[in-house]
Structure 1
Amino acid sequence: MTESPPRLSRLVFHGPLSESRADGMVRRLAATRPRSVLDIGCGWAEPLLRLLAAVPDAKGTGIDVNGEDLARARRNAEARGLADRVEFVEESALGTRYGPADVVLCLGASQALSTAEPSTAGALRELRRLVRDGGRVLLGEGFWERPPTEAELSGMWPGARAGDHHDLATLLDLAVEAGFRPEWTETAGPQEWEEFESAYQADLEVWLAGNPLHPLAAETRERLDRHRAQWMSYRGVLGLAYLTLVPVAS
């Protein structure tokens, strides 16, 4: 029997993030000399591990509900000699007992901090609780590049609504209302999105091409085709902002 489909091995980051942008983020955060780093919805925690490597005195905690991703994070930490400085916790981040920390990362995971829809405002308030005065929050958050049409929404994720995201200006206003000042504002570019979406599918696409009669082929084909259609619906409409936020002193 042919092996089951591989999963996400082409992805370095679980989001539309280039190496050059990641390097800049790590440099800015490392310059604050954090002693503690908290990563909400960390996945396999690539940004967290890079920040710990850049700040030898820092210790980190990553929280996620996906055990497979956390296992990958632990393997990577061990391979890079960071295992003694990072803890990975498999649990929900709602009301987390971890923190406050000097740096809090929340990249594409605001839904882990709030059950509200959209989760952005509640997540920002929770992030303010989790970061120390003088620290930094790095938030990766979706926003609408332009208002989506009804046809575009119907092709996105199930139940997609115009209210699922804000525009960039409103997102920044919400950060200020939650007790932050935006130190750095940047958004993922088209090439970052294309590299992410292609890498997200690539393992399975290659596997499916070579295993069209595998018992899992039909299910895999349906999932790949559905996701590609969704991407084509939000391509150029959904953006991702990376906000480096400074908490206003309490």
Structure 2
Amino acid sequence: MTDTPPRLSRLVFHGPLSEPRADGMVRRLAATRPRSVLDIGCGWAEMLLRLLAAVPEAKGTGIDIDGEDLARARRNAGARGLDDRVEFVEESALGTPRGPADVVLCLGASQALTTAEPSTAEALRELRRLVNDGGRVLLGEGFWERPPTESELSGMWPGAAASDHHDLATLLDLAVEAGFRPEWTETADRREWEEFESGYQADLEVWLAGHPEHPLAAGIRERLDRHRAQWMSYRGVLGIAYLTLVPVTAAG
């Protein structure tokens, strides 16, 4: 066994997203024949790369502040022969000038677009600015499956509050208010969540089992146990909606 803790090698997507659902999203977006794709908070950009592979005439840009994830994205792009059609930039997406694009991906990263709290309404307005008329936005956004209890909130992320998310109906209303019509609405199911959360922890859990006395073990154990407790607090309460949004063309 290696002495170096591995990182997220079990995850294809950095979120609760299955292969069949991702395939359907790519098909719908590819049918619009985009020439430009912008990925906000792209991470290792799996959806961006799949969309570029499906639309040979498209070029893409991925923005993220995590250099390690971007390095993985660049390796994957090179392995798939896509590195001449995609650019990855390590920078903040706040106020980004890198649009508008025909397709904008924002999967679990709307907070990167604004300093407002809660961020959803302002992020949706930013996404409308970043997408061309006739284009599409694919938004992955958290929502409450049901109102969380105070006990559940206390076990989630630090400072978790009921105001951190909306219910699904309100999320859709906010998208409409920001200048979109929802073409497709879907939500992650229990299996997708369990595969994501298990995959998020699995590399380190296996490493820790084999290295209980390693100098890094105590910190990793504390982090894993804390995240597992948080997951158990939001399991069945926090959902992820995947919204394919069509911008409303301005009159004029």
TM-score normalized by the length of structure 2: 0.98
| Per-residue CA distance 1:215-245 (angstroms, 9 max, x = gap) | 0000000000000000000000000000000
Structure 1 residue ranges, 4+ long, deviating more than 3 angstroms after superposition: none
Which structure 2 residues correspond to residues 47-58 of structure 1 after superposition, within 5 A? 47-58=47-58
- Give aligned pairs, total: 250
2:118 aligned with 1:118, yes or no?
yes
Which structure 2 residues correspond to residues 101-112 of structure 1 after superposition, within 5 A? 101-112=101-112
For residues 75 and 13 of structure 1, the distance between their equivalents in structure 2, rounded to whole angstroms, comes to 15
Given residue 82 of structure 1, which amino acid in structure 2 is its aligned partner? Answer: L
For the residue of structure 2 that corresponds to 1:158, the secondary structure is coil
2:142 aligned with 1:177, yes or no?
no
Q: What is the aligned partner in structure 2 of residue 216 from structure 1?
A: 216
Deviation at 1:2, TM superposition (A): 5.3
Gaps of 5+ in 2: none
Q: CA RMSD in A?
A: 0.8
Q: What is the aligned partner in structure 2 of residue 21 from structure 1?
A: 21
Q: 1:172 to 1:35 in 2, by over 3 A?
A: same
| Per-residue CA distance 1:19-76 (angstroms, 9 max, x = gap) | 0000000000000000000000000000000000000000000000000000000000
For the residue of structure 1 that corresponds to 2:84, the secondary structure is helix
For residues 178 and 125 of structure 1, the distance between their equivalents in structure 2, rounded to whole angstroms, comes to 5
For residues 80 and 4 of structure 1, the distance between their equivalents in structure 2, rounded to whole angstroms, comes to 27
For residues 118 and 227 of structure 1, the distance between their equivalents in structure 2, rounded to whole angstroms, comes to 22
Which structure 2 residues correspond to residues 151-230 of structure 1 after superposition, within 5 A? 151-230=151-230
Deviation at 1:3, TM superposition (A): 2.0
CA contact (8 A) 1:2 1:214 kept: no
For residues 5 and 223 of structure 1, the distance between their equivalents in structure 2, rounded to whole angstroms, comes to 13
CA contact (8 A) 1:124 1:178 kept: yes
TM-score normalized by the length of structure 1: 0.99
Q: What is the aligned partner in structure 1 of residue 10 from structure 2?
A: 10
Gaps of 5+ in 1: none
| Per-residue CA distance 1:111-159 (angstroms, 9 max, x = gap) | 0001111110000000000000000000000000000000000000000
Given residue 128 of structure 2, which amino acid in structure 1 is its aligned partner? Answer: R
